[in-house]
């Protein structure tokens, strides 16, 4: 499938949609004799619930790997020659870079990725609600 057909939706939005769909469904029954059917509705709710479960699973895996990488990163930081002389700015950038690639290594790697992470982080810190919401 091409990426053109993929849409990213936050898990909280998905949970809201599922809740609304279940409220709509509540107490209603199929009456196929008069063409009243909730089967497709139920099938979609089930698919959305599976998507939320899969998202949680991915988040757990991501967090495990991220913490492992960060622990390794900081655990070996003092092997860098001259780290004692690093500036505050260098510590801050190194820490932020580590966090960025822990959150999304594909998106936030290398100079361009780090620039993107700082832009996203700034928007988040300024109250942007669409940044870093799972």
CB 14 within 8 A of CB 51: yes
Comparing CB distances to Zn ion, the nearer of 46 and 72 is 46
Q: How far is the CB of 16 from Zn ion (least distance, A)?
A: 24
Q: How far is the CB of 29 from Zn ion (least distance, A)?
A: 9
Q: How far is the CB of 27 from Zn ion (least distance, A)?
A: 15
Token pair recorded at residue 133: 């919401």
Among 9, 13, 24, 30, binds Zn ion (CB under 5 A): 30
CB 25 within 8 A of CB 38: yes
Choices 12-20, 24-32, 54-62, 72-80; region in contact with Zn ion by CB under 5 A:
24-32
CA pair distance 123, 87, nearest whole angstrom: 25
Token pair recorded at residue 82: 């001259």
Task: Convert residues 39-68 into a mask of x (bound to Zn ion by CB under 5 A) and - (unbound).
Answer: x-----------------------------
Comparing CB distances to Zn ion, the nearer of 27 and 75 is 27
For residue 113, give every residue at least 6 positions away whose Cβ sits within 8 Å of its Cβ, in sequence order, or none.
100, 101, 107
Among 9, 37, 92, 115, binds Zn ion (CB under 5 A): 37
Q: Which of 39, 44, 52 is nearest to 12 (CA)?
A: 52
- The burial class, CB within 10 Å (0-12 / 13-18 / 19+), for 50 is exposed
Comparing CB distances to Zn ion, the nearer of 39 and 125 is 39
Residues engaged in binding Zn ion (CB under 5 A): 30, 37, 39
């Amino acid at each position: 499938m091409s990426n053109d057909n993929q849409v990213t939706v936050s898990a909280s939005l998905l949970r809201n949609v599922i809740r609304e769909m279940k409220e709509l469904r509540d107490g209603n029954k199929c009456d196929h004799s008069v063409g009243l059917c909730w089967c497709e509705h139920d099938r979609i709710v089930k698919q959305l619930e599976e998507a939320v479960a899969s998202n949680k699973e991915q988040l757990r895996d991501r967090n495990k790997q991220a913490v492992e990488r960060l622990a390794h990163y900081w655990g070996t930081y003092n092997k860098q020659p001259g780290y004692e002389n690093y500036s505050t700015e260098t510590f801050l950038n190194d820490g932020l870079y580590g966090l960025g690639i822990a959150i999304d290594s594909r998106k936030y790697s290398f100079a361009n990725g780090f620039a993107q992470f700082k832009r996203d982080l700034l928007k988040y810190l300024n109250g942007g609600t669409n940044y870093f919401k799972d």
